A and B are shown apart, each in its own frame.
Chain A
Amino acid sequence: MTSAIVVSGLHKSYGATHALDGLDLEVTTGEVHGFLGPNGAGKSTTIRVLLGLLRGDEGDVSLLGGDPWRDAAQLHRRLAYVPGDVNLWPNLTGGEVIDLLGRLRGGLDPKKRDDLLRRFDLDPTKKGRTYSKGNRQKVALVAALASDVELLILDEPTSGLDPLMEEVFRQCIEEERQRDRTVLLSSHILSEVEALCDRISIIRRGKVVETGTMSDLRHLTRTSIQAELSAAPNGLASLPGVHSLDVEGNRVHCEVDTAQLDAVMRELAASGIKSLVAQPPTLEELFLRHYEDDSVAAS
Chain B
Amino acid sequence: MSDFVGTGTLVRLALRRDRVLIPTWIAVFVVMAAGSAQATMDLYTDVASRVEAARTTNASPALVSLYGRIFDETSLGELSLFKLTAFGAALVGLLASILVVRHTRAEEESGRLELLSAGVLGRYAALTAALLVSTGTVVVLGLLTALALIGLGLPAAGSFAFGLIWITAGLSFAGVGALVAQLTEGARTANGFTAIVLGVSYVLRAIGDSSSDGKSEWVSWLSPIGWSQQIRAFAGDRYVVVLLPLAFLALLVTGALALIRRRDVGAGLVRPRPGPAVGAPSLRSPLALAWRLHRGSLYGWGFAFLLLGLLVGNIASNVDGFVTSDSAREMVQKLGGVQAITDAFLSTEMGMVGLLASAYGIQAALRLRSEETALRAEPLLATGVTRTRWLASHVLMALLGTGALIMIAGLGSGLSSGASLGNVGHQVPRMLAAAAVQLPAIWLVTALVVALFGLAPKLVTASWALYGLFLLIGQFGALFNLPQAVINLSPYGHTPRLPGGTFTLTPVLALTAIAAALLAAGLTTFRRRDIG
Q: Which residues of A sit under 8 angstroms from B385, Cβ to Cβ?
A: 73, 76, 104
The 8 Å CB contact of B272, one of A53, A88, A96, A130, is A130
For window 185-220 of A, CB contacts with B under 8 Å fall at: none
Q: Decide if A77 touches B275 in the complex (CB within 8 Å).
A: no
Q: Decide if B530 touches A91 in the complex (CB within 8 Å).
A: no
What 1/0 mask marks residues of chain B from 292 to 308 whose CB sits below 8 Å from any chain A CB? 11001000000000000
Max chain B CB contacts within 10 Å: which of A74, A88, A90, A130? A90
The 8 Å CB contact of B384, one of A86, A95, A104, is A104
Q: Which residues of B sit under 8 angstroms from A126, Cβ to Cβ?
A: 272, 274-275
Q: How far is the CB of A274 from chain B (nearest CB, A)?
A: 55
- Alpha-carbon distance A103/B279, docked complex (angstroms): 10
Q: Decide if A96 touches B276 in the complex (CB within 8 Å).
A: yes
Q: Decide if A48 touches B531 in the complex (CB within 8 Å).
A: yes
Q: Which residues of A sit under 8 angstroms from B275, Cβ to Cβ?
A: 92-93, 95-96, 125-127
- Alpha-carbon distance A106/B286, docked complex (angstroms): 13
Q: Which residues of B sit under 8 angstroms from A130, Cβ to Cβ?
A: 272
Q: Decide if A96 touches B386 in the complex (CB within 8 Å).
A: no
For window 265-281 of B, CB contacts with A under 8 Å fall at: 272, 274-280
Q: How far is the CB of A235 from chain B (nearest CB, A)?
A: 59
Say whether B380 faces chain A, with CB atoms less than 8 Å apart. Answer: yes
- Alpha-carbon distance A243/B214, docked complex (angstroms): 101
The 8 Å CB contact of B375, one of A74, A83, A101, is A83
Which A residue's beta carbon lies closest to that of B271? Answer: A130
For window 245-260 of A, CB contacts with B under 8 Å fall at: none
- Alpha-carbon distance A105/B380, docked complex (angstroms): 9
Q: Which residues of A sit under 8 angstroms from B109, Cβ to Cβ?
A: 129
- Alpha-carbon distance A81/B293, docked complex (angstroms): 23
Q: Decide if A53 touches B289 in the complex (CB within 8 Å).
A: no
- Alpha-carbon distance A72/B185, docked complex (angstroms): 36
Q: Decide if A127 touches B289 in the complex (CB within 8 Å).
A: no
The 8 Å CB contact of A96, one of B185, B186, B283, is B283
Given A53-B530, A92-B292; A99-B278 close (CB under 8 Å): yes
Q: Decide if B375 touches A87 in the complex (CB within 8 Å).
A: yes
Q: Which residues of A sit under 8 angstroms from B292, Cβ to Cβ?
A: 89, 91-92
Max chain A CB contacts within 10 Å: which of B277, B286, B374, B532? B277
Q: Decide if B530 touches A93 in the complex (CB within 8 Å).
A: no
Q: Which residues of B sit under 8 angstroms from A100, Cβ to Cβ?
A: 279, 283-284, 288-289
Given A72-B386, A96-B278, A127-B272; A54-B376 close (CB under 8 Å): no
Say whether A140 faces chain B, with CB atoms less than 8 Å apart. Answer: yes
Q: Decide if B382 touches A76 in the complex (CB within 8 Å).
A: yes
Q: Which residues of A sit under 8 angstroms from B380, Cβ to Cβ?
A: 101, 104
Q: Decide if A88 touches B530 in the complex (CB within 8 Å).
A: no
- Alpha-carbon distance A147/B382, docked complex (angstroms): 13
Q: Decide if A106 touches B276 in the complex (CB within 8 Å).
A: no
Which B residue's beta carbon lies closest to that of A130? Answer: B272
Q: How far is the CB of A61 from chain B (nearest CB, A)?
A: 14
Q: Which residues of B sit under 8 angstroms from A92, Cβ to Cβ?
A: 275, 292
Q: Decide if B185 touches A55 in the complex (CB within 8 Å).
A: no
- Alpha-carbon distance A153/B383, docked complex (angstroms): 12
Given A87-B375, A103-B283, A125-B277; A76-B272 close (CB under 8 Å): no
Say whether B456 faces chain A, with CB atoms less than 8 Å apart. Answer: no
Q: Which residues of B sit under 8 angstroms from A106, Cβ to Cβ?
A: 384
Say whether B119 faces chain A, with CB atoms less than 8 Å apart. Answer: no
Q: Which residues of B sit under 8 angstroms from A129, Cβ to Cβ?
A: 109, 185-186, 272
What 1/0 mask marks residues of chain A from 83 to 122 whose CB sits below 8 Å from any chain B CB? 1011111111101111111011110000000000000000
- Alpha-carbon distance A127/B275, docked complex (angstroms): 7
Q: Decide if A53 touches B276 in the complex (CB within 8 Å).
A: no
Would you call the interface of chain B mostly helix, strand, loop, or mixed? loop
Say whether A124 faces chain B, with CB atoms less than 8 Å apart. Answer: yes
For window 368-393 of B, CB contacts with A under 8 Å fall at: 374-376, 378-387
Say whether A51 faces chain B, with CB atoms less than 8 Å apart. Answer: yes
Q: Decide if B276 touches A104 in the complex (CB within 8 Å).
A: no
Question: How many B residues have CB within 8 A of the partner chain?
Answer: 37
Q: How far is the CB of B510 from chain A (nearest CB, A)?
A: 35
Q: Decide if B283 touches A91 in the complex (CB within 8 Å).
A: no
Q: How far is the CB of A124 from chain B (nearest CB, A)?
A: 4
- Alpha-carbon distance A97/B277, docked complex (angstroms): 10
Q: Decide if B383 touches A95 in the complex (CB within 8 Å).
A: no
Q: Decide if A77 touches B384 in the complex (CB within 8 Å).
A: yes
The 8 Å CB contact of A93, one of B276, B285, B286, is B276
Q: Which residues of A sit under 8 angstroms from B382, Cβ to Cβ?
A: 51, 53, 76, 79, 81, 83, 153
Q: Which residues of B sit under 8 angstroms from A54, Cβ to Cβ?
A: 530-532
Q: Decide if A81 touches B274 in the complex (CB within 8 Å).
A: no
Q: How far is the CB of A139 from chain B (nearest CB, A)?
A: 10
- Alpha-carbon distance A54/B381, docked complex (angstroms): 11
Q: Decide if B284 touches A104 in the complex (CB within 8 Å).
A: yes
- Alpha-carbon distance A98/B278, docked complex (angstroms): 8
Max chain A CB contacts within 10 Å: which of B276, B278, B376, B379? B379
Q: Which residues of A sit under 8 angstroms from B383, Cβ to Cβ?
A: 76-77, 101, 104-105
Q: Decide if A48 touches B532 in the complex (CB within 8 Å).
A: yes
Q: Which residues of A sit under 8 angstroms from B387, Cβ to Cβ?
A: 72
Q: Decide if A53 touches B531 in the complex (CB within 8 Å).
A: yes
Q: How far is the CB of B414 from chain A (nearest CB, A)?
A: 34
Q: Decide if B376 touches A88 in the complex (CB within 8 Å).
A: yes
Max chain B CB contacts within 10 Å: which of A74, A95, A123? A95
Q: Decide if A53 touches B378 in the complex (CB within 8 Å).
A: yes
Q: How far is the CB of A160 from chain B (nearest CB, A)?
A: 14
Which A residue's beta carbon lies closest to that of B293? Answer: A89
Q: Decide if A98 touches B279 in the complex (CB within 8 Å).
A: yes
What 1/0 mask marks residues of chain A from 148 to 186 whose CB sits below 8 Å from any chain B CB? 000001000000000000000000000000000000000
The 8 Å CB contact of B277, one of A87, A88, A124, is A124
Which B residue's beta carbon lies closest to that of A69? Answer: B528
The 8 Å CB contact of B379, one of A55, A91, A101, is A101
- Alpha-carbon distance A101/B275, docked complex (angstroms): 17
- Alpha-carbon distance A90/B385, docked complex (angstroms): 21
- Alpha-carbon distance A188/B380, docked complex (angstroms): 25
Q: Which residues of B sit under 8 angstroms from A98, Cβ to Cβ?
A: 279
- Alpha-carbon distance A127/B272, docked complex (angstroms): 7
Q: How far is the CB of B496 from chain A (nearest CB, A)?
A: 39
Chain B residues in the interface with A (C-beta under 8 A)? 109, 185-186, 272, 274-280, 283-286, 288-289, 292-293, 296, 374-376, 378-387, 528, 530-532
Beyond A95-B278, A153-B382, 17 additional pairs, beta carbon < 8 A: A53-B378, A54-B530, A54-B531, A73-B386, A76-B382, A81-B379, A81-B382, A91-B296, A103-B283, A103-B284, A104-B383, A105-B383, A125-B275, A125-B276, A127-B274, A129-B109, A130-B272
A sample of 10 inter-chain contacts (CB < 8 A) reads A53-B532, A54-B530, A83-B382, A93-B276, A93-B277, A95-B275, A101-B380, A125-B274, A125-B277, A129-B185
Chain A residues in the interface with B (C-beta under 8 A)? 48, 51-55, 72-74, 76-77, 79, 81, 83, 85-93, 95-101, 103-106, 123-127, 129-130, 140, 153
List 8 A-B pairs, minimum CB-CB distance, nearest first.
A99-B279, A125-B274, A104-B383, A93-B275, A81-B382, A96-B279, A95-B277, A103-B284
